[in-house]
Every structure is written in structure tokens, then in C-alpha cells.
Amino acid sequence: MHLAEGVLPVEWAAVWFAPAAATTVIGVRKLRSKTTQIPQRKALTGIMGASVFAISLMPIPVPVAGSVSHPCGTPLAAIVLGPFVSVVVAAVSLLFQALFFAHGGLSTWGANIVSEGVAGSLVGAGVFLGSRRLGLSLFASGFLAGFIGDLSVYAVTALELSLGLFGVSELGRQWVSLFGAFLPVQGPLALGRRCSPVGS
């Protein structure tokens, strides 16, 4: 998810760096531990990082939301790598996209990590594990994880925008409006990719 540079007031942009930093630090520790035990996981992490980076470089503008909509690869990365390592993958991807592709920004990097990295990864992994425990097939579990994880990214982005632009008093109404603005574009994207052989 790419909130543009300067879209959030400074104080709200700063707020999102705290959970982004905390989850990224946890992810780095887990990544070090996993790659120490199984060095081959470095290659798998690199492949997933490239996938997340490429998937999220296909923006579709959502003018009324001040942002863009695009496919999200973090639910898949969370299933393959674990949710906290997926946060690291998202953080690195979002940094490079902000620096070299004008997708997102440095001031909104924390908020973008929280929406795409934290929400997409934790929700995607949680839905996948929960679905498997309920006896759903691998395909159905992956489908639900990707679909719900993808939409969770935009639910959190709508929350970030609502709080930053309108404050707590307008939160409910503005969140519904902003999330609703994403759905016509993101709903079909999330569903379409889950139905395709290359969908994440």
C-alpha cells in the first residue's frame, strides 16, 4: 500500500513508525534465526521479496482516497516465510519503491509498512492457519488468506487516512467512505488474483 508523501500530518505519520519499527525488528530477528538454521531460506526470502516488490508496482489510482490500489503479495509471503519476516520483506520493498519509483513516501513509510506489511501479513497468515485448522483445503485456505489479507491492507489504510485527515471524532463515517472508495478497484483485484494461477 502506498500512501503518498505528505498525505498524512506529521504527527500521524510519526505515530505509525512505532508499530512499524517494532514489528520490523521482530521480523529481522526471526529472519536471522531462520537463515542461521537453514541458510537456503535466504534465497526463498529473496524470491518472495522480489515477488512482493513486483506485485505492488502495479498501481491503480484511487483519486478520492489520495492513494493507489494494487495487488498485495504480503499474505502469500506471510504463508511462505512467516508473518514477521513478511513484514521485513514489505518494509524493504516499500523503501525501494519510495526512493526510486515515487510509490509512497519516506514520511508515510511507517504507515505503509503497517498497512501492507503488518496487516497484510498477520491477517493473511492468521486466516490461512485458521482455515487449515478448520479442515479447508490448501487451495481454499490460500484463497481466503489472500483475499481477506488483501482487503485488510485497505481497511487499515482507510483507518490511517481517516485518523490523519479527519481525526477521531469523524473516524467511523470517514473510514466507511474511504474503505468504500477502495472497494470498487481492490475488491475485483483481490478476487481476480485469487482465481488466477499466478495470484497471491
Question: Could you tell me the CATH number of the domain that includes residue 134?
Answer: 1.10.1760.20
| pLDDT value of residue 44 | 94
pLDDT band of residue 89 (cuts 50, 70, 90) is very high
Question: Residue 177 — very low, low, confident or very high, per pLDDT cuts 50/70/90?
Answer: confident
- Would you give the DSSP letter of residue 200? -
**Is the pLDDT reported for residue 109 higher than 80?**
yes
Average pLDDT over residues 76-88: 96
Instruction: Find the helix or strand (DSSP H, E) in which 38 lies.
Output: none
Q: Is 191 exposed, middle or buried (0-12, 13-18, 19+ CB in 10 A)?
A: middle
Q: Answer whether residue 57 is part of any domain.
A: yes
The rounded mean pLDDT for the chain is: 85
Q: How many domains does the chain have?
A: 1
Cα 117 to Cα 120: distance, rounded to the nearest angstrom: 6
- Give the count of beta carbons closer than 10 Å to the beta carbon of residue 42: 12
Exposure string (b/e) for 133-162, b if CB count within 10 Å is 16 or more? eeeeeeeebbbbbbbbbbbbbbbbbbbbbb
pLDDT band, very low/low/confident/very high, at 162 (cuts 50, 70, 90): confident
Residue 66 or residue 21, greater confidence: 21
Mean local confidence (pLDDT), 62-74: 67
**Domain hosting residue 151, numbered range:** 10-195
Indicate the pLDDT class of residue 130, thresholds 50, 70 and 90: very high
Do the beta carbons of residue 59 and residue 116 sit within 8 Å? no
pLDDT band for position 199 (50/70/90)?
very low
Task: Determine which of 10-24, 82-96, 180-194 has the lowest per-residue pLDDT on average.
Answer: 180-194
Q: Is the CB of residue 147 less than 8 Å from the CB of residue 194?
A: yes
174 domain-assigned:
yes
Please, what is the Cα angle at 183 between 72 and 86, to 5 degrees?
20
Query: Which amino acid is present at 118?
Result: V
Asked whether residue 58 carries a pLDDT value surpassing 90, the answer given is no
- Please indicate, yes or no, if residue 149 is contained in any of the structural domains: yes
Question: Is residue 158, in this structure, part of any structural domain at all?
Answer: yes
Q: What is the separation, in whole angstroms, between the first and last Cα of the chain?
A: 15
pLDDT range class, residue 118, cuts 50, 70, 90: very high
Q: Torsion angle of alpha carbons 134, 148, 58, 177, nearest 10°?
A: 180
- Output 150 or 60, whichever has higher pLDDT: 150
Q: Is 5 helix (H, G, I), strand (E, B) or coil?
A: coil
Amino acid identity, position 93: S
Higher pLDDT, 5 or 195: 5
Task: Kindly state whether residue 129 falls inside one of the protein's structural domains.
Answer: yes
Categorize the per-residue pLDDT at 72 as very low, low, confident or very high, splitting at 50, 70 and 90: confident
